[in-house]
Amino acid sequence: MPSEILRLRASIDNIDAALVHLLAERFTLTRQVGELKAVGNMPPADPSRDAQQIERLTAIAESSGLDPDFAVQFRQFIVSEVIRRHELIAREHAGETLPELDTYA
């Protein structure tokens, strides 16, 4: 295996690890948001914020040379899980007993 490929792969591995750590941090924060939404009897999803964030992310992707559609799909994958977790938090707040959501927090 050429050393240049090994060097590039090591950098990719570092970026992958950073992404996982950032996602864990993001889910820690969104769990806190979910708790506050449950206490305030707010819906799990916020379409207005979602639209703002998609516009913001599209601009960031374009200026970074990343396909904006891919960036939006990636975000949607994450946000779908956030909403699912917020729904579970709301159910838990309403008195249901549910399994622990996060194994990393």
In a domain, 80, yes or no: yes
How many domains are there within the chain? 1
In a domain, 31, yes or no: yes
pLDDT in tens, 22-39: 999 999 999 999 999 999
In a domain, 101, yes or no: no
Report pTM: 0.85
Tokens coding 39: 């206490």
Residue 55's Cβ-side half-sphere holds a number of Cα atoms within 13 Å equal to 6
Q: What is the pLDDT of residue 105?
A: 46
In a domain, 103, yes or no: no
Distance between CA 63 and CA 55 in Å, rounded?
Answer: 13
100-105 long-range contacts (CB < 8 A, ≥24 apart) are 101/31, 102/27, 102/28, 102/31, 104/24, 104/27, 105/24, 105/27, 105/28, 105/31
In a domain, 102, yes or no: no
- Here the CATH number for the domain that contains residue 65 is 1.20.59.10
Share of the chain above pLDDT 70, in %: 92
Q: What is the pLDDT of residue 97?
A: 81
Residues of the chain with pLDDT under 70: 99, 101-105
Which residue's entry shows tokens 């994958």? Answer: 77
Q: Which domain holds residue 20?
A: 3-93
Q: What is the pLDDT of residue 96?
A: 82
In a domain, 7, yes or no: yes
